[in-house]
Amino acid sequence: MTKTVVIVGALDTKGEEFAFVKSIIEDAGVATFVVDFGVIGDPTFTPDVSRDEVAQAGGGDLAELTSGDHKDEAMKTMASGLAAVVRKLYDDGKLDGIIGMGGSGGTSIATTAMRTLPVGVPKVMVSTVAGGDVSAYAGTKDITFMPSVVDVAGLNSISRRIYANAAGAIAGMVQVDLPEAEVKPLITASMFGNTTTAVDHARGIMEEQGYEVLVFHSVGTGGRTMESLILDGYIEGALDITTTELADEVCGGVFSAGPDRVKGAPQAGVPVVIVPGCVDMANFGGIETVPEKYKGRNLYEWNPNVTLLRTNVEENRQIGEMIAAAANEATAPVTVLIPLKGVSMLDSEGGRFWDPEANQACFDAIKSNLRDDIPVIEVDANINDPEFSGKVAQALLGMLNQ
């Protein structure tokens, strides 16, 4: 069956480039489908979906958007419309891969649409901003960014090669057959350096029972990506052992995943074990980057680029409330496990971050704010002790087997 690549872009000033990419993809034996989201000038060739249709899908009027008076509104409308068009093409079985080209504005619109597609669908973005930080454009999806090197504004000796490479890449991606492999039910696990021992032990138990465990590093993007996969329906159960990103949210650290972290599995109706793992630490860059208000606090230079702040009683109380609020949204089984002898490797008796009072503030906040029907299991062990991590795995197995 012939594969189809959807090409998205503003055809007004860049039609030459898109026609070039279209021809190369088709020469590779792949069909194309072009969607125009431009708002300036006229398209240089007729697309399969016009800019007017994109504007309508975004709830706007193209005539108003092309006046040039409200560029911000035009960007939002065309991004929303393109996302709706692209997702419908995928849902209707008319999209096997997608490619876009543009500057910062075009990249923003095109990647908004790409982010509506599931992980695994080939996505290529040729962009003037691809050599920098593209995390805001990628979100939690697997978008392949290719620096355009020169501006996306016409064909020249440099851009022809780059566009040809991009066209060849997307054509190849959609035609690659995935080798067959044993399909196992997927489990997610959140991990940090300070909970590696716990996660490895729990993962081993789950794998012995026939599950495949996907481990995510709790550094902001890791937590968001994990929960994106859960919300997209790929995951059977979750071991949310390392909820440290909430500490960064509360303290303004660099690894925050946002205020909704931990809510993914509860909102998706996926069985989950929640642990206040590594909530004793918020993360900053080098010691010189730590905010002045924390300079007198318990700080630990984990490495030259990471400084850990020991969270205090009030911060732990807030984190506990956030964990309880997330768990309370559950529509599937959820269990909270609490390690009474420390929530990280550093938070053990005699350790650098050992602070039973701060820990207890978190534990009490969880228990006092949690729904009555949600079990709380307190274990007289450190989070990395096999006694604790074993109970974490067994708790999830019990819920999955209900």
Instruction: Give yes or no for residue 232 having a pLDDT over 70.
Output: yes
Give the pLDDT confidence score for residue 70 in this predicted structure: 65
Instruction: Give yes or no for residue 331 having a pLDDT over 80.
Output: yes
Give the pLDDT confidence score for residue 152 in this predicted structure: 79
Instruction: Give yes or no for residue 69 having a pLDDT over 70.
Output: no
Task: State the SS3 of the chain.
Answer: CCCEEEEEECHHHHHHHHHHHHHHHHHCCCEEEEEECCCCCCCCCCCCECHHHHHHHCCCCHHHHCCCCCHHHHHHHHHHHHHHHHHHHHHCCCCCEEEEEECHHHHHHHHHHHCCCCCCCCEEEEECCCCCCCHHHHCCCCCEEEECCCCCCCCCHHHHHHHHHHHHHHHHHHHCCCCCCCCCCEEEEEECHHHHHHHHHHHHHHHHCCCEEEEEECCCHHHHHHHHHHHCCCCCEEEECCCCHHHHHHHCCCCCCCCCCCCHHHHHCCCEEECCCCCCEEEECCHHHCCHHHCCCCEEEEECCEEEEECCHHHHHHHHHHHHHHHCCCCCCEEEEEECCCCCCCCCCCCCCCCHHHHHHHHHHHHHHCCCCCCEEEECCCCCCHHHHHHHHHHHHHHHCC
Instruction: Give yes or no for residue 309 having a pLDDT over 90.
Output: yes
Global pTM reads 0.81
Structural domains of the chain ordered from first start:
4-175 (3.40.50.12020), 186-400 (3.40.50.12030)
Give the pLDDT confidence score for residue 267 in this predicted structure: 96
Instruction: Give yes or no for residue 300 having a pLDDT over 80.
Output: yes
> If pLDDT is split at 50, 70 and 90, which confidence band does 167 have?
very high
Instruction: Give yes or no for residue 397 having a pLDDT over 70.
Output: yes
> If pLDDT is split at 50, 70 and 90, which confidence band does 68 have?
low
Mean of all residue pLDDT scores within the chain? 94
Give the pLDDT confidence score for residue 336 in this predicted structure: 98
Average pLDDT over residues 145-170: 91
